[in-house]
Structure 1
Amino acid sequence: MEYKILSDGGIESRMNIPMRGSADVIVAGGGVAGCAAALEAARHGCSVILFEKSMLLGGLATLGLVNWFVPMDDGKGRQVIFGMAEEFLRLSIKYGYGDVNPGWKNGVYDGKGDPPPRYCSGFSADIFALCLTELLNSAGVELRFDASAADIVTRKENGAVATEGVIIHDKSGFGFYKSKIVVDVTGDADLLYKMGVPTLKRGNYDSYFGKVINMDSIKKALESGNIGNIYRGVSGGHSNLYGHGHPIDMPLFDGTDADDISRYTVSSQIRMLEKLKKDDRLSRDLVQIPGMVNFRATRRLDGDATLRPEDSGIRYDDSIGAICDFDGREYLYEVRYGVLVKTGFDGIITAGRTASGDGYGWDILRVIPPAIITGQAAGLAAAESIKNGNRIWEPDIRKLQSILESEDVKIHNR
């Protein structure tokens, strides 16, 4: 690599980046949305490479210790979210702790309780991550760990910006991987932003949670016969979804800014340690801390459509999946295909927490079940675009809906 020192102290570099591989679909990011997209595209005959910058799949659900499948029902005893979200939920508790209330059968709650308990479950974060690795590997997805998506290569085509592939940085250096479709599920819309696709950002509250075990929790686990009861939460910052608990004099954190990420991490870890110092050192142990930044939402697509809180109850002809409000009851939504794409930018699609949602609508989209549903739709849209030659923002929406319905995805709430 050749460098030239610039007058402002920076450098100008020139690199020859080798082509290291190719695939029909490249998935940048191995959170649950990325896993769903990769799996769906592979199941529809595409060659798929998934790049994950850490060493575990699952994203915030596993590395971030947000190991909770939030409610997938309408709050009145009727399941709303099915498809790959249901498949992943069942996988998450197949070999580890966690379960859905036994009153839930075939998508309906027939037990006691008013209001009925929600359709949700905790799970073992690490065991679920291992299960995702096995699932994707068995489906033929090429998994590349410790590999960050550094940049995206584009071309001009028919008045649009189109993708050529992705530049990856891993232990072997920089490498170019060619693809027909890129799924940006980095969680921060990194490739969308670098491609010039319109994006929007928001700040994050002070939230950092880990897990401890102590003598009381061990006793509870032994008495209950359930190892899931062994964990207790410990925080370095404990703001909730709505900002309650955020220090009044603390600026919000920008999840796309390297300085803010380091400021957040150092501050959170020191404050967590200060809490632990108050305990008898032989009475407890810190067994898990987040392996990734615990930000809820950082940067997302400004898409052809945007999910907003006031969209509850509206039926959309271009829906690719019915979802629900995880924090409230009876608020039902339909995710429009346009929240995943932007007209004028071909060969790139997103899902999960970088899908286009406004305000609380962003939060509704980013949690585990909707992230999986949008990931499944993105993977299918990628496969169909390759098969049919349509631009990514111009799918045969009826065909997508028909295929998704055949895969047990509920398209409309009514």
Structure 2
Amino acid sequence: MSVLSSVRLPQWAGTLAVKAAVFIIVMCCALAALLGILVHVQVTDQTVGQARDLALARLTDATQAYEAGDSLLPGAAVDPEGLPTSLRTLAAHGERGTMVADHHGRPSMWAAGPADGGRALAVEVDYAQQARTIEGLDRAILWSSGLAIGATVLVGAFAVTRVARRLHATARVARRISAGDLDARVDDPRVKDLTQPQDEVAAVAVALDTMASSLQSKLLSEQRFTADVAHELRTPLTGLHAAAELLPPGRPTELVRDRVAALRTLTEDLLEISRLDTGRERLEADTEELGALAERVVRGSGTVTEVRVVRDARVETDRRRLERVLGNLVANGHRHGRTPVVLTVDGPVVTVRDHGDGYPEYLVAHGPQRFRTEGGAKGHGLGLTIALGQSEVLGARLEFANAPDGGALARLTLPLAPAPEGTGQD
């Protein structure tokens, strides 16, 4: 049996498309912020520099006029109102400087220098136009960055989504192959169209398709070999059985007949497995009372098996195949476990439990494997393999576990028969 667990990403991991979109957004934002800062700093420095040069030039003219005793130009004054305190202090210490500050609600470029008596000679230059230019530039940077990020995210998401869809398609095909569908293929369109560039996803798709083809070929060869061997053995075994029946009574004759019967059973099991492997088995469904069917199976097995019907149910199933499954489970419990062996019917669920050492770890983890036994057990591992294959044909689920208080536990869950119109069925 191939026990499959579909691998799912945890919710916090996200998908490849989400991760790529987040990465693109972060990188675009970082790049836009860096370019915006560089442009803002460059333009601001240039604008402030021009305003500073103009203010210092006017301060020079005002200083010359002040020293010559001429009237000061408009915008120049000694200790004018609104002169920043830090600039006033700088001028009082005999140094010149410039500073941008608000005056009457408008940005101004101030330039100040020393005057007599520890006072400050200052010039005010209107800085409103330059401030509006910088604000407009900042808005343009933000809008253009937003548009660029949006366009980049859309293009990147489209490209990543295409790759993600191809990866998801490849993963779905891989899961189908793991589930036993060896005809599944990716058939990536890029592989067929040689004019398109071949990428890593196409290489993975080709590798997966090649692996599936090789695996299918090997499995088909093994199935044909098993079926051919079993068919070829039937004829000589029939003759050997007939010859054994002609032997005189005695212990040697009983041993020969026992071994011939075991070999015939093994051959029939191999033929049944080969038919199950090919998937050509067809269901002959009918409605059956599960409790009565279970009791009939136990009577036919010739074993001392307790039948417990907790809750009977009508199931739609193939009687012959279901009897084969339950018969194999009961026989396995007596052959490899210890009594008491109990068959319990609880609605559409049938459990068969023995009180032996339980199933081997590999069987619980991976299901029964043909011709594999452990712990010195006798047999070929075919009984449970057939039971699992027949349960799949029935559309039922067969699970193997070990009971907490010891013993092997096989649980078969069958589909319920549809309730007649106008009635309800729990």
Q: Check whether TM > 0.5.
A: no
Measured against the shorter chain, the TM-score band is: under 0.3
TM-score normalised by the chain length of structure 2? 0.18
Bigger share in helix: 2
Bigger share in strand: 1
Structure with bigger gyration radius = 2
